[in-house]
Amino acid sequence: MDISTLLGIIIGFGALILGFILEGGHVSSLFLLPPAIIVFGGTFGAVFASFPLKEMKKLSTWLKIAFTDKSYGTLEAYETLIRFAEKARREGLLSLEQELEEVEDRFTRQGMQLVIDGTDPDITREILESNIAVMEKRHKVGISVFEAAGGYSPTLGIIGTVMGLVHVLGNLTDPDSLSKSIAGAFLATLYGVAFANLLYLPIATKLKQKDKIEVASMEMIMDGILSIQAGENPSILKEKLKTHLGNIMEPANSRNE
């Protein structure tokens, strides 16, 4: 579990509810079905209309990425690249082929296989950069979905409020239902703004952060692979990868798939 994601959402909504209670409000008055249907139903409807269905089927996967703390395998990749560089220096690139089966990371394995096969360095770089670009494009869809939800939600909240006020103005002769109708109208705006800023947009930001870390990890691996192909001294490679490693490990130490 990615504790920061869950903890942040709990703190955010908890602060809103606690502040409401301290002002003398009752928690039960924050929960009404009609405005919830308008805001949440309208938001998800707008999001589904904005993206292909095949992409929306990945919604659970994106949520899992945002709320799960998975290992990037960055340290393992660093150690593997150093070991490969040292062995290639002693025994040649072809000696690495036997060890590729033990490499779990697909990106590292693919890149090293290109090197062992004698692929031109420019082509090797082009293929690896293409893999990174495809991954970024895939991640951007999930980010865009939650950013879209964060944009639609406040607007649907305003629409819900207007609809509620229309209902209020149409029933001014019924004082008993007036206060409940007004509360329901303004709850729609509360739902729209609160969920946009405490759920949808934070998840989009978390997905962005994890995407950047994974890209940085893959760029480190690519740099190491190309250095091995160029026959660089393992000591120089080690210092070069340490620079990458420091930048990656400072913000986080996990990797999403």
How far is residue 140's CA from residue 146's CA, in Å, rounded to a whole number? 10
What is the number of structural domains in the chain?
2
Residues 25 and 134 in one domain: no
Has residue 252 been placed in a domain? no
Has residue 257 been placed in a domain? no
Residues 108 and 65 in one domain: yes
Beta carbons within 8 Å of 201's beta carbon, 6+ residues apart: 146, 147, 150
How far is residue 60's CA from residue 17's CA, in Å, rounded to a whole number? 27
pLDDT, tens only, 183-239: 778 999 999 999 999 999 999 999 999 999 899 999 999 999 999 999 989 999 988
Half-sphere exposure of 154 (CA within 13 A, CB side): 12
Has residue 130 been placed in a domain? yes
Q: From residue 103, give the alpha-carbon distance in Å to each of 111, 202, 229.
A: 11, 34, 17
Residue 30 CA, chain-centre distance (Å), reads 29
Q: Which helix (H) or strand (E) holds 57?
A: none
- Tell me the residue range of the domain where 16 lies: 1-31
Q: Which helix (H) or strand (E) holds 233?
A: none
Has residue 255 been placed in a domain? no
pLDDT, tens only, 69-123: 877 778 888 999 999 999 999 988 888 888 888 888 899 999 999 999 999 999 9
How far is residue 77's CA from residue 74's CA, in Å, rounded to a whole number? 5
**Considering the entire predicted model, what is its pTM?**
0.86
